[in-house]
Amino acid sequence: MSEALDLQGRHVVLGLSGGIACYKSAELVRELQRHGATVQVVMSEAAAQFITPVTMQALSNRPVFSSQWDARQHNNMAHIELSREADALLVAPASADFIAKLAQGRGDDLLSLLCLARPIDRLPLLLAPAMNREMWAHPATQRNAAQVVADGAMLLGPAAGDQACGEVGDGRMLEATELCEELVAHLQPKLLAGQRVLITAGPTFEAIDPVRGITNLSSGKMGFAIARAAAESGAEVTLVAGPVALTTPRHVRRIDVQSALQMHEAVMPLAGQHEVFVATAAVADWRVQGCSEHKLKKDGSGRVPNFEMIENPDILASVARLPKPPYCVGFAAESHDLAKHAREKRLRKGIPLIVGNLGPATFGQDHNALLLIDGQGERELPHAGKLALARELVREIAARLPKP
């Protein structure tokens, strides 16, 4: 669900220290460029033992810098000049030795000098650790990692998994797509910092028998995009998801459910602990009373089984009626008369904000168009990618929350 150009206009300095994970840095350059960024590569002497500057220059379309004595800068101060136009300094891989250098404030090569000389108040330093699991777990490395974080750097990972040495454990560098997503998130404004956001997403599945059920065409993409956007904005996010085939956004807690009753049971104990509740899920209004224990079989008579339907609990209205409810945002997926039905639904649910969209036109798609309706009127969010719309919705929610 990434947006093609969400790093448009951004300039990233990508540093490589020594480690076999340098092979991932080649793909990282391409991934950053696919998202619109320009990339300047700076390599340590050790990094050049794993991947060549020629490769990184060809991929980045810029000369690679590796020496503090490089005279190509007009004032021979590459460690100063390279950081001044950058929006982020990302070191991937960041080896144990390089993290130790930063913790000690050493600057014996161009890359470490660049980190020391960066404008610390405006240029973020992001480190992607990559090393053997024993090296990562060593008390010295943990101490150094804690120190660089205390000094203002941000650690991205490491991940756990197979390592080049044949061992398995913590120490793998994050993949290029993960690092790019982390960088995008870091650069988003932290409009919901300190807030807890509860989101429902996807359809529900109401069983008829062990193999059949009633559901709808919701893909969950809009709800998952809102969860990602809320996490990017600094919120602590819990996502209650119906049956969907989507990857959980990074740094989001996910609870999987199937039916409307299960979603209700998951949401209600949590809602009062959150400042914001966004009910994106397309929850089934009814369920079959008395689900059959065994698969219903045709008997050749042509008769169709009769099902008695009963109404499911109204999750959004139940949350809105809590003694101290969170700020509630509802969704109205309609097939016609969108504004009329959405206005009526907002009043019926007793919520401050509802988001309308035409369900048949957006289910399963990567784009959408939204209509925001509150007590003051309506505002359209024109057709765009769902993540872009989710970020705009997060801005709207943040602006409406009570000021502390």
CATH number at residue 161: 3.40.50.1950
CATH number at residue 212: 3.40.50.10300
Domain for residue 5, yes or no?
no
Mean pLDDT of 26-40: 96
Question: Domain end: 155, 187, 219, which one?
Answer: 187
Q: pLDDT value at position 74?
A: 67
Mean pLDDT of 42-57: 96
Residue 243 shares a structural domain with residue 154: no
Domain for residue 3, yes or no?
no
Domain for residue 2, yes or no?
no
Nearest alpha carbon to residue 373 among 352, 358, 393: 352
Domain for residue 226, yes or no?
yes
Indicate the burial class of 225 (C-beta count within 10 angstroms; 0-12, 13-18, 19 or more).
Answer: buried
Domain for residue 331, yes or no?
yes
Residue 285 shares a structural domain with residue 369: yes
What's the predicted TM-score (pTM) here? Answer: 0.89
pLDDT digits (tens, 9 = 90+) for 315-325: 999 999 999 99
pLDDT digits (tens, 9 = 90+) for 271-312: 999 999 999 999 999 998 887 788 888 877 778 778 888 999
Given pLDDT bands bounded at 50, 70 and 90, which one contains residue 2? very low
DSSP string, 108-122: -SHHHHHHHHS-TTT
Q: pLDDT value at position 402?
A: 83
pLDDT digits (tens, 9 = 90+) for 358-383: 766 677 678 888 899 998 888 998 88
List C-alpha distances in Å: 45 to 57, 97, 112, 216, 266: 15, 13, 12, 57, 53
Residue 274 shares a structural domain with residue 130: no
Task: Give the residue with greater pLDDT, 381 vs 70.
Answer: 381
How far is the first Cα of the chain from the last one, in angstroms, to the nearest whole number?
33
* Domain span at 343: 196-400
Residue 157 shares a structural domain with residue 253: no
Question: Domain end: 187, 210, 226, which one?
Answer: 187
Domain for residue 310, yes or no?
yes
Residue 250 shares a structural domain with residue 369: yes
Residue 117 shares a structural domain with residue 69: yes
Residue 67 shares a structural domain with residue 140: yes
Question: Domain end: 187, 208, 228, which one?
Answer: 187
Q: pLDDT value at position 99?
A: 97
Task: Give the residue with greater pLDDT, 183 vs 295.
Answer: 183
Q: pLDDT value at position 1?
A: 44
Q: pLDDT value at position 270?
A: 97
Query: For the chain, what is the domain count?
Result: 2
Most confident of 21-30, 355-364, 395-404: 21-30
Domain for residue 371, yes or no?
yes
The catalytic position among 22, 115, 165, 328 is: 165
pLDDT at 24 over 70: yes
Residue 201 shares a structural domain with residue 161: no
Residue 164 shares a structural domain with residue 233: no
Q: pLDDT value at position 361?
A: 63
* Three-state secondary-structure class, residue 398: helix
Domain for residue 84, yes or no?
yes
Question: Are 8 and 88 spatial neighbours (Cβ–Cβ below 8 Å)?
Answer: no
Q: pLDDT value at position 55?
A: 97
Residue 165 designated active-site: yes
Mean pLDDT of 378-392: 91
pLDDT at 79 over 90: no
Give buried/exposed letters for 126-152 (b at 16+ CB in 10 A, else e). Answer: bbbbbbbbeebeeeebeebbebbeeee
Residue 224 shares a structural domain with residue 260: yes
